[in-house]
Amino acid sequence: MKLIVGLGNPGSRYEKTRHNLGFMVVEKFFKDFELVQNTKWVNDARFRSDTAEIVWQPKHADAEKVILTKPKTYMNNSGLAASLISSYYKVPASDIWIIHDDIDLPLGFMKIRFGGGSAGHKGIESVMEKLGTEKFWRFRLGIGAQKAKWKMENGKLRDTDDFVLGEFRAPERGKIRELIKRGAKAIGMGLEEGLDAAMNRFNTK
């Protein structure tokens, strides 16, 4: 079994923001299965999340249940949902994939990796805290190497929260659409051929 968690914030206010890129990728991946497997997102109060279950059938291996999750706990408490589901289904941390935006990667870049620190990402910090380990997989989706601050067109400095909670600008949207597609394909390849293959294919060099 795999647990795939897209990070983001619930509600229409945050739907199109940079911080919700994890939600966007998981939703894109799910669309390919919604009709074929007659499944849908369910608001599951047990797990404080929207969840969907699919069955992945690799060509050369046994079928595997995959739980897709969009926590409704807000970004800074994302780990609660991940820990509730992983505890219930007894999913080890090594079979948990976290899909999230990454301000330290340039726009449109993607890096799949196992373990490591949070790099200041509050959602990842929460997952590490609640799971009690950093040994889980991350799909890091680049939203722009901005570090601590970003500069608006009028020269006014704003903090990181303003950046990640802002919507993608028109010039960024083409790269983001492609990144969402690549992220969804990377999930599929990871399930089909393993994450080493997905890293070799999709990690931005």
12-57 tens-digit pLDDT: 999 999 999 999 999 999 997 777 788 899 999 999 999 999 999 9
Q: What CATH number does the domain containing 137 carry?
A: 3.40.50.1470
Confirm whether 19 is a catalytic residue: yes
Q: In the predicted model, what is the mean pLDDT of the chain?
A: 92
SS (H, E, C) the chain: CEEEEECCCCCCCCCCEHHHHHHHHHHHHHHHHHCCCCCCCEEEHHHCEEEEEEEECCCCCCCEEEEEEEECCCHHHHHHHHHHHHHHHCCCHHHEEEEEEECCCCCCCEEEEECCCCCCCHHHHHHHHHHCCCCCEEEEEECCCCCCEEECCCCCEEEHHHHHCCECCHHHHHHHHHHHHHHHHHHHHHHHHCHHHHHHHHCCC
Give the number of domains in the chain.
Answer: 1
pLDDT at 34: 77
**Domain extent at residue 54:** 2-202
Q: What is the pLDDT of residues 103-140, one digit of tens each?
A: 999 999 999 999 999 999 999 999 999 999 999 999 99
- pTM listed for this prediction: 0.93
What pLDDT, on a 0 to 100 scale, did the predictor assign at position 148?
43
